[in-house]
Amino acid sequence: MTRGDRLLVVIVALAAVLAWPATLMATSSRADVARITGPSGTSVVALRPDREIAIEGLDGPLKLELSGGAARVTESSCPDRLCVRQGIVSRAGSAIVCVPGGVTVRIGGDDGALDAVVR
């Protein structure tokens, strides 16, 4: 490794360390609503006050717990229960997805606009 290679590695590492706080600030925004999309339609619910919501999925019910401004699926009837293992979500844009149940819980208000179009 030449002296120029070492200098390049140091510069890239320094840029990554300096950019890290900016990326945390950009992605750490919290939201006050959750958008629940399921087989019966879409609804927007406030993350506070703390409560549990039953959601009917394609393969049975899911239990969504809203607590402390965050959401998590505590019970699910899907076979692998991956939605339960996704844990707690609280940042805007984060989501819990139950594919077999056809249910998505996305944190933050969404105007329904497209993010991108792929051809």
17-63 pLDDT, tens per residue?
Answer: 988 887 766 655 557 899 999 998 999 999 989 999 999 999 899 99
Cα–Cα distance for residue pair 50/10, rounded to 1 Å: 47
Question: Binning pLDDT at 50, 70 and 90, where does residue 2 land?
Answer: very high
Listed residue (73, 70, 91) closest to 81, CA to CA: 73
Question: Binning pLDDT at 50, 70 and 90, where does residue 114 land?
Answer: low
pLDDT of residue 26: 60
Residue 83, token pair as written in the block:
């939605």
Q: What is the mean pLDDT of residues 106-110?
A: 77
Q: What is the pTM of this model?
A: 0.68
pLDDT of residue 119: 75
Residue 75, token pair as written in the block:
């019970």
Listed residue (116, 82, 101) closest to 36, CA to CA: 101
Q: What is the mean pLDDT of residues 81-92?
A: 91
CA end-to-end span of the chain, whole Å?
43
Question: Binning pLDDT at 50, 70 and 90, where does residue 6 land?
Answer: very high
Could you tell me which residues are beta bridge partners of residue 96? 105
Listed residue (101, 51, 57) closest to 72, CA to CA: 51
The single residue listed with the structure tokens 């360390």 is: 17
pLDDT of residue 5: 93
Of 86-90, 99-103, 106-110, the poorest mean pLDDT is in 106-110
Listed residue (94, 65, 101, 39) closest to 73, CA to CA: 65
